[in-house]
Amino acid sequence: AQSVTQPDIHITVSEGASLELRCNYSYGATPYLFWYVQSPGQGLQLLLKYFSGDTLVQGIKGFEAEFKRSQSSFNLRKPSVHWSDAAEYFCAVDLDNYGQNFVFGPGTRLSVLP
């Protein structure tokens, strides 16, 4: 069955440190890939998306993600974390590339130490 895994349930980093959140998917073809962020008590906001082309994509708030086909991964990175980045991060896969069939990972909660 198609699935999206985020191996890290909770990550804590110090402010100013670099960040990498992992995402792996299990799917035969290359789906559309997304990262969303959810601040406490809020809905989800899109950080970035990958459809095709350059495997390194830039998003909002200084985030980037790299698609690696050989590893079925789409890891999210940020070179220097800010306290306001503390939130829940979700990787999502659009299985049919028509925008109808999203599968979300379980999420990674990011805590930022001052």
Partner 1 sequence: DAGITQSPRYKITETGRQVTLMCHQTWSHSYMFWYRQDLGHGLRLIYYSAAADITDKGEVPDGYVVSRSKTENFPLTLESATRSQTSVYFCASSSGGANEQFFGPGTRLTVL
Could you list the residues that contact partner 1 (CB under 8 A)? 4, 32, 34, 36, 41-46, 49, 51, 90, 94, 97-102, 104-107
- CA–CA separation, 13 and 45 (whole Å): 21
Minimum CB separation of residue 25 from partner 1 in Å reads 13
Q: Between residues 99 and 114, which has the closer beta carbon with respect to partner 1?
A: 99
- CA–CA separation, 104 and 73 (whole Å): 14
**Eight-state DSSP code of residue 3:** E
Q: Between residues 27 and 102, which has the closer beta carbon with respect to partner 1?
A: 102
* Bridge partners of residue 94, in order along the sequence: 32, 102
